[in-house]
Structure 1
């Protein structure tokens, strides 16, 4: 088999593995996580169908050559440390559980003198008024519920 056939087999196997993972977490994981893993599972087949698989392989090989020829100087070590910190922060942010935001109740110790003492309005305010003249051009600039009979 030639290289393109091997690439096709690897891409399809990787995608099927990702879809099996998505199917296994479908009922237990939150909707957001399922959609993220589904997107990740579809990346290899999308790259292959778009004809970008060879460029992805070349990118990986370029990264490997860079790593092999890397000279560890102070700026390089600092740069790799910053990249490592960025990766830890990105991955760590996914592990932190989210909690719903709730407002703290306001203390009701005395008589209320703030905006809550104002009675509610009987109807919502109308911010848009119909135009004085009833031309069709002016009628298209306002909301349909404010149009006068034409």
Structure 2
């Protein structure tokens, strides 16, 4: 069989398989996961159409020859451990929820507001920006005041309700 036809068949089968997986994942996954699967679905046929199928086969054969010739010396085991650790860290980092710039900025503002409310509103030497006087700081809510109820359109999550209430008071919706 002609290698070019074989490459086309393999690329087509992989593309169809990835499209099926993408279709199964579509309704249950996050948008970024669906986009990743769509990109993976397009990759095999893209490599074939670019003429890179022989290079992919060559890379596979090179890796196979390397694996057969590998001698598991202590240095090789250290290399395996380092490569495994790096792969674990890179893949594990995808599980950490991302924090947007807005989230960090909101956390900084909240931290400054708490510092101003607690009476440490004096400007620090060398800070370059004077802080608000304590009289202008938002008053902390007494512990006896009830939190917004979930029945008033709240989400049922006390922290989210509190954040929503703060944003509403400041005119940010």
The TM-score, its normalising length taken from structure 2, stands at 0.59
- After superposition, residues 55-94 of structure 1 pair within 5 angstroms as 55-94=55-94
Cα separation, 1, equivalents of 2:85 and 2:72: 18
Deviation readout 1:4-50 (Å, 9 max, x if unpaired): 21221111110111122222222322222211221122111111000
Please report how far the alpha carbon of residue 99 of structure 1 lies from its aligned counterpart in structure 2 after TM superposition: 6.1
Cα separation, 1, equivalents of 2:7 and 2:120: 74
> Which residue in the other structure is 1:27 paired with?
27
Residues 4 and 30 (structure 1 numbering): CA distance in 2 closer, same or farther, change over 3 Å? Answer: same
Structure 1 unmatched ranges of 5 or more: 120-150
Bigger RCO of structures 1 and 2 (CA < 8 A, at least 6 apart): 1
- Of residues 132, 136, 145, the one that matches 1:116 is 132
Cα separation, 2, equivalents of 1:37 and 1:53: 20
When structure 1 is superposed on structure 2, of 20-29 and 63-72 the one drifting more is: 20-29
> Which residue in the other structure is 1:12 paired with?
12
Cα separation, 1, equivalents of 2:118 and 2:71: 67
When structure 1 is superposed on structure 2, of 11-20 and 59-68 the one drifting more is: 11-20
Cα separation, 2, equivalents of 1:111 and 1:87: 46
Cα separation, 2, equivalents of 1:97 and 1:111: 32
Cα separation, 2, equivalents of 1:111 and 1:97: 32
Cα separation, 2, equivalents of 1:98 and 1:17: 30
Cα separation, 2, equivalents of 1:57 and 1:49: 15
Please report how far the alpha carbon of residue 2 of structure 1 lies from its aligned counterpart in structure 2 after TM superposition: 2.5
The TM-score, its normalising length taken from structure 1, stands at 0.67
> Which residue in the other structure is 1:131 paired with?
none
Residues 115 and 22 (structure 1 numbering): CA distance in 2 closer, same or farther, change over 3 Å? Answer: same
